[in-house]
Amino acid sequence: MAEAALATERPATAASAAPLLTVRGLEAWYGESHVLHGIDLDVRSGEVVTLLGRNGAGKTTTLKSIMGMLPKRKGSVVFEGKELMHLPARHIAKAGIAICPEERGVFASLSVQENLMLPPKVRDGGLSVPQIFELFPNLKERLSSQGTKLSGGEQQMLAIGRILRTGANLLLLDEPTEGLAPVIVQQIGHTIARLKKEGFTIVLVEQNFHFASSVADRHYIVEQGRTVDMIENSELDANMDKLHAYLGV
Amino acid sequence: MSVVAEPNTMRLPEERTTGAMPGYHIAIFALLLGLALIAPFFLYPVFLMKVMCFALFACALNLLLGFGGLLSFGHAAFFGGAAYVSAHAAKVWGLTPEVAIILGTLSGALLGLVIGSFAIRRQGIYFAMVTLAFAQMVYFAALQMPFTGGEDGIQNVPRGDLFGVISLNSDMSLYFMVLAIVFGGLLAIYRIIHSPFGQVLKAIRENEPRAISLGYRVNNYKLTVFVLSAALAGLAGATKAIVFQLASLTDVHWSMSGEAVLMTLIGGMGTVFGPLVGAAIIVTMQNYLASLGAWVTIIQGFIFVIAVLLFREGVVGLIAKRLRRPL
């Protein structure tokens, strides 16, 4: 299928100035422990933004609390002009945000096809099933396989693929390259670039800095539950020392 | 395998190619039906009807436990409650058996709606405890309320005439009515499990937070499956009351809930055919070992221990694992 076939009615294809997602002073708790102390993010429509930081800095927690998956949180999360802070998680999903969790969450007792078709459509404009197969040809071969009988890479493709059908336009991807072979990492990189071209907005949590720099527009640095810095991808080279100081051991 | 091209029109995984009943499942259903049709000519029909009623009861529990991941320890409330309602409807109101059974089933569903809407707010052991507590309330209500007959239960329930026409006093005609009800119930459960609704249930059972974050209102799904399960347990209980012409405290006692759990586990939790096998094993033991008195319970316990130690997946679960096919 030609590249053009993927084109949908998605309006914005380039990063526009209006922020799609604005996060201010986001704090979150796991039980008694206070994990996020103040996350501020601006994500513009059509952008790919990464959250970089050491282990335990609060990157995954940030995604989870945007999605409303934590019991206690505070601050403000505005998506398409709508405050999400007081909505339950399923309404946040319906608003058009989809998360691909680190553990992938592929349902073991369902087949690839069932996993793919399970997420409810939240609005129009999602990719069609043939378009998803075009992105991930492996999935098409394994349609009737059980979710857990896939390789790690295929599971990751399935986990990403199934949220593309729903019509969500903001994708939160939590370490999509973790534990995958370099060739698969490359394929996921291509996919993210392709999704960006399609007009999807992506917030990516990444440990693999080289991978992040190959796909992202901007990088937020998360440290001890706070966003401490933001670096444009174009200014990355100039800021290498700073970045090493943040991320190095 | 071709996949539908237009996802824009669908909300749920409705158009699937994997949803059709696989050939070997059709064969098993056909075999079961065939056996059930000839069995009453060789075995005592009332015993077979008992097996069938308990099989449906266990399958109803398995729908909730095996596919929804919710262990109810209070299913006797729906089974026994429906038995009382159908017995009362047939005996006091003089309704025909099919109407009495339908009323019993509805009472099971209604009770399921009430108990379920409280119970689904809790998970795991707490869910089991809440269902048990409510079932105990139903038990004491059954003991105290005037229409249940207290310790005596409702006895001598007339079997009546099916649709007001066919007399069910002969065991054979009653047998085929029960067979139709139970087989219909099983097919309904099979359909539920393999529907898009069933897939969402499995998803919730495996990873509830993920199902929520995909946008599902999981509590509605849990409540729906609870009510369906309660209604089917009610169908089993209501039918049982007509077959034995009796609704008694045994039907609502907590040990009845335990028996359903036992049948489900012995047969194979989360399998389609497991609870049938489990019910057949347990009821057969109760019937043929009845002369041993209280020893039956001890033997049952012993078998349960062996099952847990040696084949935790249950009889059918074990076979399915060997065959590498879902049964």
DSSP at A7:
-
pLDDT of residue B19: 53
- Residues of chain A positioned with their CB less than 8 A from the CB of B321: none
Structure tokens at B204: 């919730």
pLDDT of residue A3: 46
Can you give the pTM of this predicted structure? 0.82
| Single-letter code of the amino acid located at A202 | I
pLDDT of residue B139: 94
pLDDT of residue A236: 85
Tell me, yes or no, whether A149 lies in a domain.
yes
Q: How far apart are CA A82 and CA A93, in angstroms?
A: 13
Nearest residue of A to residue B325, measured between CA atoms: A146
- Residues of chain A positioned with their CB less than 8 A from the CB of B3: 113, 129-130, 133, 143
CB-CB: which of A93, A117, A124 is closest to B215? A93
CB-CB: which of A69, A89, A114 is closest to B13? A114
Q: What is the ipTM of this complex?
A: 0.74
Q: What percent of chain A has pLDDT over 90?
A: 51
Tell me, yes or no, whether A202 lies in a domain.
yes
pLDDT of residue B167: 81
pLDDT of residue B219: 93
State chain A's mean pLDDT as an integer: 87
Sign of the torsion formed by the C-alpha atoms of A149, A153, A155 and A157: negative
Tell me, yes or no, whether A65 lies in a domain.
yes
Q: Can you give the residue range of the structural domain that contains A30?
A: 18-247
Q: Which CATH number is A167's domain given? A: 3.40.50.300
Q: In angstroms, what separates the C-alpha of A98 from chain B's closest C-alpha?
A: 7
At A145, the pLDDT band (50, 70, 90 cuts) reads confident
Q: In angstroms, what separates the C-alpha of B215 from chain A's closest C-alpha?
A: 4
Interface contact flag, B17 A113, Cβ < 8 Å: yes
Q: How far apart are CA B215 and CA A88, in angstroms?
A: 10
Structure tokens at B303: 């078998």
pLDDT digits (tens, 9 = 90+) for A55-93: 889 999 999 999 999 888 999 999 999 999 999 999 999
pLDDT of residue B99: 93
Cα separations in angstroms, A95 against A75, A123, A172, A174, A239: 18, 8, 13, 19, 36
Instruction: For B50-85, give one letter per residue: b (16+ CB within 10 A) or e.
Output: bbbbbbbbbbbbbbbbbbbbbbbbbbbbbbbbbbbb
CA A216 to mean position of chain CA atoms: 12
Interchain CB contact of A137 with B (< 8 Å):
no
Segments in chain B below pLDDT 50: 1-18
Interface contact flag, B202 A90, Cβ < 8 Å: no
Residue B86 contacts residue B247 (beta carbons within 8 Å): yes
Domain count, chain A: 1
- Residues of chain B positioned with their CB less than 8 A from the CB of A133: 3
pLDDT of A43 above 90: yes
Interchain CB contact of B290 with A (< 8 Å):
no
Tell me, yes or no, whether A174 lies in a domain.
yes
Q: How far apart are CA B121 and CA B259, in angstroms?
A: 25
Tell me, yes or no, whether A3 lies in a domain.
no
Residue B234 contacts residue B74 (beta carbons within 8 Å): no
pLDDT of residue A17: 61
pLDDT digits (tens, 9 = 90+) for A225-243: 999 999 998 888 888 888 8
Interchain CB contact of B11 with A (< 8 Å):
yes
Nearest residue of A to residue B66, measured between CA atoms: A109
Q: How far apart are CA A211 and CA A229, in angstroms?
A: 19
Cα separations in angstroms, A147 against A8, A113, A156, A164, B21: 28, 9, 11, 17, 20
